[in-house]
Structure 1
Amino acid sequence: MRITMENIHKAFGTNQVLTGVDFDLLNGEVHALMGENGAGKSTMMNVLTGLHARDNGKITIDGTETYFKNPKEAEQSGVTFIHQELNIWPDMTVLENLFIGKERKNTFGFLKTAEMKALANKQFERLSVSIPLDKEAGSCSVGEQQMIEIAKALMTEAKVIIMDEPTAALTEREISKLFDVISSLKKEGVSIVYISHRMEEIFSICDRITVMRDGKTVDTKAIAATNFDEVVRKMVGRELTDRFPTRNQSLGETVLEVKGLTKSGYFEDINFSVRAGEIVGVSGLMGAGRTEIMRTIFGLDSSESGEIWLNGKKVHIKTPVQAVKLGIGFITEDRKDEGLILDFSIKDNIVLPTLASFAPKGIIREKSETDFVNMLIKRLTVKAESKDIAVGRLSGGNQQKVVIAKWVGIGPKLLILDEPTRGVDVGAKREIYQLMNELTERGVAIIMVSSELPEILGMSDRILVVHEGKVNGELLKENATQEKIMTLATGGQ
């Protein structure tokens, strides 16, 4: 399928999101689409698939001018969009999610469950995924939900698949398998639009790249004819210095100590500590128990045994409210459902954990609150028309910045970051890394859970590797390599 988009314009109110975009997709190619958060990448694809109507411009598909009325019509025509923010129905089973709106029925209207299960298992086998089909989708990890969405797209026999940050919640092994699937789809003539902020992936899997900046197309090139530095320069409009800022490590007293923390079926006998000014990276495969350990420390889940010590005192954290009062912040990997209230404004989301401090006598001091919010928006470079717009209207990366601003605002002693740069562009990533450095220079202790090995290696002072619910090893920054981490993550020594 050949798709051409010419001079596409799209505005939401007074906000001009696309101001003359051109995009060309060839048959059987993997075409990277890159740009900073808010550059208009997802909006352009939403215009293509009929979620948003264009204000101006022309779209042709196989030489015929074509405009889809809605995403369902696009899907029926062979164009499928796997969104960054997953469209999972949490109260339904995995099987029901895979076939929602596309159920297989016999002549009497009864579901052909066996046939649907066989088709689902075929796609899961193709992706090397093992998720029980009768499992409630809401209880699946974010990574598992991502694989469900990919399997769902593969079952539509699409001619074009748009993937928006498809590997953000996947492990290295799952990414490798996804790349195998993409290669086989390409051989079958399927075209892939690959939206990602992970440079290594772009140069590994893509044929051509289109770079966007501020709602416009900057350039389209063959991958072989460009390089990392050129792409970054075109994305951000300036030279970007080192990918990871230099860390001036100065460690203080132990802030957090975890002793023998255990929750059957999830993790067992977890022991580690974090000092003031230190970044401890936590690596491991999906399902290893990394997130579950952090949720327990923050009081979202309970443990069966073990102790948590904070600043030399034993604490019993039963709820997130208690954790916040103790100076612990937690940036969850699932920003849509757990990190933000999408209908609330940017301002209301940022002040949520600290609201009481702006109303000591029950009356909100609006000027202080506004100054506080504006300071954090400026510091995190959140791109938005106003602090009062709904956070759900922001790009994924800017939503992540709001989540970080919210927890930075409490003045934490300990900050837990679970996939902190998921869906965040290369320029914004560096801003987040720089902020992490600033926080540790002020004595904040940081735990960073990440599936990105370059990020783990680039920002951690120490690295804990979790395998099947246990800490299988600890590496110092100077001795750590991707190979050593993967060896420990897969159960080796």
Structure 2
Amino acid sequence: MAKNPETMPLVTLESVTKRYAAITALDGVDLNIHAGEAVCLAGENGSGKSTLIKVLVGVEQPSAGRVLFDGVPQTRLTPTTATSAGVQVIFQDFSLFPNLSVAENISMTAERATGTLMVRRARARARAAEVLARVGVDLDLDARVERLPVAHKQLVAICRALAADARLIIMDEPTTALTEREVARLLDLIRRLKADGVAVLFVSHKLAEVLEVCETVVVLRNGAKVAEGPAADFDSASLTRAMTGRDVASGPPTPLDAAAPPLLRVDGLCRAGAFEDVSLSLRAGEVLGVAGLLGSGRTTLAKALFGLARPDRGQVTLNGAAIPLGDPIAAAAAGIGYVPEDRLTEGLFLEQSIAHNIAVGRFDAHSHSGVLNLKNLWEEATVWLKRLSVKAPDPTAPVRSLSGGNQQRVVLARWMARKPRVLILNGPSVGVDVGSKAEIHGIMADLAAKGLGVIVISDDLPELLATCHRILVMKDGIITEEVSGGAGVTESELSHRLAS
């Protein structure tokens, strides 16, 4: 449904400002969203996107300016009044009840809105079935949500919003954990929602998706709106420039030295139900990609190379020396590092300081006679913060306080401090903004230039093509082919090889 500029906007923000003490998170932001319109809210981490959403749904009150629904100013917006006005948010974790069924999750918000103390199961099932039919989705109403794949959980969250008569659905990074095929289905669903008059505020770091599904783009930087216009007026380069304030270079990796010696070798690695007969080699200074859809075995392979998953058979050698299988301590001691895909649950101690997160596993290097030298630990962390351009107040700040891109740099700093010979990066830029992504890619290139071997596991095809010398295609636990990175293959060709 095309936006009609003469109609009353569904949602209006007028000069909205939000201050936290001396910090201005939003600075005089104006925004209009019409029924049936998809608006992209773009910006790097820390640009003000999350704060704007919190204001829009009544979690935070603006310090200045006002919010209007259907032209009516909201004197004090609360989550309840926002929900009553049809504003629903789908967060990255979906905020579902894992122990409840699909039908119960879909109808929960709507049932609560009736004020009844008892849930009428027949009515709940009927409501859920109606919404699923509306969006053309077939899900088992009785299935427990915790057993659903990520893409189906997201559909349940969308249907829950529609069951509560959503007029504006805010989607926060909706495609982070989806495969390319699942992303295509989600974008089709968004188009159907727009045709049905539902507005969508789409927050994503994946610029191609944004430009494909949205009519309007609004860019925030440092809390202020710096660009706005029809999506057709933007491309990836101009949108990146608006988000970061600079041109972000992206190109093929530096050619690998033909004389680079072999570093890592994997022969006949097998793990039942995950991958079979995987053999690969990695040279010093090489960036090797492994491309595969979710369920291809790529993550289990990455964990097996680091010892977190024990293969049934096979061999891994580093500089000719065999690495014990299923032993991450031995792998780390031999010089293999691993940066997990889910840094929040697998890579960081969120309540601990940045310095402690960098030094973890190496505290003996900062202690004498069992006493930890905190000054030495802080000084080392400060060096890494500067070297990797981590935006943080100081090394004592909790790592939870950092943006996704800066958290990823902290995990990288931990392994770089150990001086590994091989670094395995599983989804190195998942959930980080475009500026941080380019900087992380730069770090990877610098590591390779210094002779490290880097293995990148990802379903982000442009990332693989921009950073890898070779790319292994993995399907159903099997390496099916090898392609050249850089200009050796196009994104569409690589995508076809993954899907075929």
Q: 1:310 aligns with which of 314, 318, 322?
A: 318
CA distance in 2, matches of 1:39, 1:366: 33
- Deviations, residues 391-412 of structure 1 (Å, cap 9, x unaligned): 3233333333333333333222
SS at match of 1:247: coil
- Deviations, residues 331-351 of structure 1 (Å, cap 9, x unaligned): 222122212222223332222
CA distance in 1, matches of 2:117, 2:29: 47
Q: 2:335 aligns with which of 312, 327, 338?
A: 327
- Equivalent position of 1:178 in the other structure: 186
SS at match of 2:338: strand
- Equivalent position of 1:420 in the other structure: 428
1:247: Cα distance to partner? 1.7
Q: Which moved more, 1:177-186 or 1:378-387?
A: 378-387
Q: 1:247 aligns with which of 226, 243, 254?
A: 254
CA distance in 1, matches of 2:81, 2:214: 27
Q: 2:491 aligns with which of 474, 482, 485?
A: 482
1:357 matched to 2:365 = yes
1:404 matched to 2:417 = no
Please say if residues 17 and 28 of structure 2, whose CA atoms lie closer than 8 Å, have aligned partners that are also in contact.
Answer: yes
Q: Which moved more, 1:48-57 or 1:93-102?
A: 93-102
RMSD of the TM alignment (CA)?
A: 3.3
- Scaled by the length of structure 1, the TM-score of the pair is 0.87
CA distance in 1, matches of 2:179, 2:134: 16
- Equivalent position of 2:304 in the other structure: 296
CA distance in 1, matches of 2:261, 2:417: 23
Amino acid at match of 1:486: S
Q: Which moved more, 1:181-190 or 1:266-275?
A: 266-275
Identity percentage of aligned residues: 34
CA distance in 1, matches of 2:31, 2:380: 40
- Equivalent position of 1:23 in the other structure: 31
Amino acid at match of 1:408: M
1:85: Cα distance to partner? 5.1
SS at match of 2:494: helix
SS at match of 2:295: coil
- Equivalent position of 1:133 in the other structure: 143
CA distance in 2, matches of 1:484, 1:179: 21
1:158: Cα distance to partner? 1.9
Unaligned 5+ runs, structure 2: 1-8
SS at match of 1:170: coil
Please say if residues 253 and 469 of structure 2, whose CA atoms lie closer than 8 Å, have aligned partners that are also in contact.
Answer: no
CA distance in 2, matches of 1:473, 1:391: 39
Unaligned 5+ runs, structure 1: none
Please say if residues 17 and 27 of structure 2, whose CA atoms lie closer than 8 Å, have aligned partners that are also in contact.
Answer: yes
Aligned residue pairs total 487
Amino acid at match of 1:250: D
1:153: Cα distance to partner? 4.2
Indicate how the Cα distance of structure 1 residues 296 and 119 shifts in structure 2: closer, same or farther if over 3 A, else same. farther
- Scaled by the length of structure 2, the TM-score of the pair is 0.86
1:463: Cα distance to partner? 0.6
1:83 matched to 2:91 = yes
Amino acid at match of 1:63: G
Amino acid at match of 1:133: A
Please say if residues 96 and 105 of structure 2, whose CA atoms lie closer than 8 Å, have aligned partners that are also in contact.
Answer: no
Indicate how the Cα distance of structure 1 residues 175 and 47 shifts in structure 2: closer, same or farther if over 3 A, else same. same
CA distance in 2, matches of 1:276, 1:12: 48
CA distance in 2, matches of 1:77, 1:25: 14
CA distance in 2, matches of 1:94, 1:359: 52
- Equivalent position of 1:224 in the other structure: 232
CA distance in 2, matches of 1:79, 1:234: 28
Q: Which moved more, 1:452-461 or 1:247-256?
A: 247-256
Indicate how the Cα distance of structure 1 residues 403 and 100 shifts in structure 2: closer, same or farther if over 3 A, else same. farther
- Deviations, residues 293-316 of structure 1 (Å, cap 9, x unaligned): 112222222222222222211111
CA distance in 1, matches of 2:107, 2:136: 20
Please say if residues 336 and 422 of structure 2, whose CA atoms lie closer than 8 Å, have aligned partners that are also in contact.
Answer: yes
Q: 1:338 aligns with which of 321, 342, 346?
A: 346
Amino acid at match of 2:495: M
1:82: Cα distance to partner? 2.1
CA distance in 2, matches of 1:218, 1:200: 20
Q: Which moved more, 1:70-79 or 1:343-352?
A: 70-79
1:113-262 alignment, distance < 5 Å:
115=125, 119=129, 122=132, 126=136, 133-134=143-144, 136=146, 149-150=157-158, 152-153=160-161, 155-240=163-248, 242-244=249-251, 246-250=253-257, 252-262=260-270
Q: 2:17 aligns with which of 4, 9, 13?
A: 9
SS at match of 1:333: coil
CA distance in 2, matches of 1:469, 1:125: 33
CA distance in 2, matches of 1:305, 1:117: 51
CA distance in 1, matches of 2:348, 2:151: 19
CA distance in 2, matches of 1:68, 1:9: 15
Indicate how the Cα distance of structure 1 residues 116 and 48 shifts in structure 2: closer, same or farther if over 3 A, else same. same
CA distance in 2, matches of 1:254, 1:278: 10
CA distance in 2, matches of 1:143, 1:307: 35
Q: 1:272 aligns with which of 267, 270, 280?
A: 280
- Deviations, residues 420-451 of structure 1 (Å, cap 9, x unaligned): 11222222211111110100011111111122
Indicate how the Cα distance of structure 1 residues 50 and 390 shifts in structure 2: closer, same or farther if over 3 A, else same. farther
Please say if residues 104 and 125 of structure 2, whose CA atoms lie closer than 8 Å, have aligned partners that are also in contact.
Answer: no
Please say if residues 128 and 177 of structure 1, whose CA atoms lie closer than 8 Å, have aligned partners that are also in contact.
Answer: no
CA distance in 1, matches of 2:284, 2:130: 48
- Equivalent position of 1:463 in the other structure: 471
CA distance in 1, matches of 2:341, 2:138: 23
CA distance in 1, matches of 2:318, 2:185: 41
SS at match of 1:176: helix
- Equivalent position of 2:6 in the other structure: none
CA distance in 2, matches of 1:130, 1:327: 47
- Deviations, residues 28-50 of structure 1 (Å, cap 9, x unaligned): 11111111221111121122122
Please say if residues 127 and 177 of structure 1, whose CA atoms lie closer than 8 Å, have aligned partners that are also in contact.
Answer: no
Indicate how the Cα distance of structure 1 residues 81 and 188 shifts in structure 2: closer, same or farther if over 3 A, else same. same
